[in-house]
Amino acid sequence: MSRVGKKPISIPSSVQVSIEGSKIVFKGGKITKELETYGRVGIEFKDNELSFSLAGSDAQSRAYWGTYRALANNIVVGLTEGFTKQLEINGVGYKAAVKGKVLELALGFSHPINYDIPEGIEISVDKNLVIIKGADKQQVGQIAAEIREFRPPEPYKGKGVKYVDERIIRKAGKTSKK
């Protein structure tokens, strides 16, 4: 069983934390993030450390304990370092470009795909790499998944949009009869 909830989160000096009832408010620079716990866990902040405690003794309470600790840690990491996902575009004629607040993708369809870049997310293109950066881990991952979904990699030639660290399991094509 995981004991993630036991570990306290050390808060850097660039992030301010305040507890308002069952809500934790994080402020880092211009960004403000809130985490509502709905009273499912106990929250304590002292000596620049945020710690969580169990609100009950059942299994549901233990699950919330680790979950809220992980969510709070993701917010702190997002406010200090940020999160990054990289997508690789493979295929002849497949390309991407950022035009203002729109990501334009040419992925072999009869028309280009225009993806509106949400607020708080920064997308840059370097040759065949699409780099997505942001402070919210869930949002960065969701946007990367949505862009990948336009043309997932196919198993024969590997053409499509894939994560940089993703491995495509290739299939053998047809073989001719002799």
| 63 token code pair | 């699950």
Say how many residues make up the chain.
178
Summarize pLDDT for 60-118 with one digit per residue, the tens. 888 899 999 999 999 999 999 999 999 999 999 999 999 999 999 999 999 999 999 99
Cα separation, 55 vs 140, whole angstroms: 31
Confirm whether pTM is higher than 0.75. yes
Q: In what order do the strands lie in the sheet with 31-36?
A: 15-20, 23-28, 31-36
Residue range 83-163 in CATH 2.40.50.100: no
How far, in Å, CA of 100 to CA of 93, rounded?
A: 22
Rg (CA), the chain: 21
Cα 172 to Cα 175: distance, rounded to the nearest angstrom: 8
- Residue 60: the pLDDT is 84
Residue (of 177, 96, 101) closest to 131 by Cα position: 96
The dihedral through the CA atoms of 84, 85, 91, 94 has a sign that is negative
DSSP string, 73-99: HHHHHHHHT-EEEEEEEESTT-EEEEE
Q: In 3-state terms, what secondary structure has residue 136?
A: coil
The topology (CATH level 3) of 9-81 is Outer Surface Protein A; domain 3 (3.90.930)
Write the pLDDT tens digit of every residue in 38-55.
989 999 998 999 999 988
Residue range(s) occupied by CATH 3.90.930.12 in the chain = 9-81, 83-163
Q: Is 117 helix (H, G, I), strand (E, B) or coil?
A: coil
Across all residues in the chain, what is the average pLDDT?
92
